Amino acid sequence: MPDSFRQVYLNTAGCGLISESLRQAGIAFYERFEQDSSAASEEWRALRYPEIKRNAARLMRTEAGNVAFLPNFSFGINALVHSLKGNEKVLLYRNDFPSLYLPFVPNKFDITWIDSEEGFRIDIEKIAAIIKAQKIDVVVLSHVQWQSGFKIDLAQLGAVCHDNNALLIVDATQSLGAIDIDLSTLPVDVLMASNYKWMNAGFGTGLMYMHPAFLDRYPPMVGGNAGTRFHWDNNTLESIPSVTDYEPGSPDMFSLTIMSHAIEEKLARGLLQIEERNMQLTQVLLDQLIALPVRLTGDRDTLSRASIVCIDAAPGLHDFLALRNIITTCRHGLIRISIHMHNTESDIRAITDAIGDWGKTQ
């Protein structure tokens, strides 16, 4: 075995890489704070904030008035839970990412849990039957599953929910930035994501989309001077509910600047083009895995998956990949391989060659 191998990063599902231009944008922003931070911050609020909001809306194909900046997904879902009445019947997937379902448990919602088919597919027809039988009010689900790569059809799921008077809340942390999401057409009530994975924007930011009808029905139960629209009428405090209520504190200008440049990079490349390239490489990997001594989770095509591929963590395989400088995640008995816009066909060859060489040692 050669002494060294080039790094192959196949772990965007764990944390996305940031570009050199993003790093420089952050440095340039904070350099202004060395001399006149008050002027720099006020200029950012007046000019950059609305521009970033418009670009975030473009990314998700919605109106800027439907978008809020979050510090992360977990803040958003916890704040959202407190806007609900508390007596809703909620449908959750048992193996979803814990940050999505945990806030509903201590708040004692009436929860119905669903399971996947063979650890991969989540059956929308089964969801429809449960909604009808249990009179479910809210379906809460990830767009892409972190442990399998299964991608649910949001258009079909949203239609099922709305046809049965159920709301749909979506965690897009494993899809936003890698999949073209058009919220002008999708029947989704709320969609949220942290940006440190497929958005390639580092930590400290997230995005929320909220349909105006949801906002009217469930006004936010959080607020603060930075985000809440309010005025005093004599001695009465009057507030106007807005999605910006979910931005209660002073904005993290540095992280949002990084996020802004990440969005601009995505828009310049084109989300549809990013998605198509990711899925092309994913199919190459799926095709090559057929001849290798590993077991795949889920389908061997990309019709119902994102660019996340999970294989059984056979003894020694993950360590072998690490020795080859191939970065993946090993959790719950699975090795997760995640492919994003920086990857190439040579990266796919590197991991399949490594698996093949490992197989010869067994």
| Closest among 185, 182, 189, 83 to 139, alpha carbons compared | 189
Q: What is the dihedral of CA 273, 276, 282, 287, to 10 degrees?
A: -140
3-state secondary structure of 116: coil
pLDDT tens, position by position, 79-117: 999 999 999 999 999 999 999 999 999 999 999 999 999
- C-alpha span between 163 and 226 (Å, rounded): 37
pLDDT of the residue at 235? 84
Phi and psi (nearest 5°) for 142? -80, 140
Mean local confidence (pLDDT), 246-271: 94
Is the distance from CB of 253 to CB of 44 less than 8 angstroms?
yes
pLDDT of the residue at 3? 57
pLDDT of the residue at 229? 80
Q: Which domains are present in the chain? A: 8-18+270-360 (3.90.1150.10), 21-269 (3.40.640.10)
- Tokens 């258009």 label which residue? 155
- Sequence-distant (6+) residues with CB within 8 A of 158 are 168, 186, 187, 188
Q: Which two tokens stand for residue 168?
A: 């749909």
Task: For 189-272, list the strands marked E by DSSP.
Answer: 190-194, 206-210, 229-233, 236-240
Is the distance from CB of 314 to CB of 294 less than 8 angstroms?
yes
pLDDT of the residue at 295? 96
pLDDT tens, position by position, 268-293: 999 999 999 999 999 999 999 999 99
Lowest mean pLDDT among 175-189, 238-252, 341-355: 238-252
Q: What is the dihedral of CA 198, 199, 205, 206, to 10 degrees?
A: -70
pTM: 0.94
Residue 338 Cα distances to 1, 87, 145, 347, angstroms: 25, 38, 12, 11
Mean local confidence (pLDDT), 311-320: 96
Over 60: is that where the pLDDT of 222 sits? yes
Structure confidence at residue 230 as a pLDDT band (50, 70, 90): confident
Residue 257 Cα distances to 16, 170, 172, 267, 312, angstroms: 17, 25, 21, 15, 39
- Sequence-distant (6+) residues with CB within 8 A of 309 are 149, 282, 285, 286, 289, 296, 297, 336, 337, 338, 339
Over 80: is that where the pLDDT of 70 sits? yes
The vertex-134 CA angle with 173 and 184, nearest 5°, equals 40
Mean local confidence (pLDDT), 311-324: 96
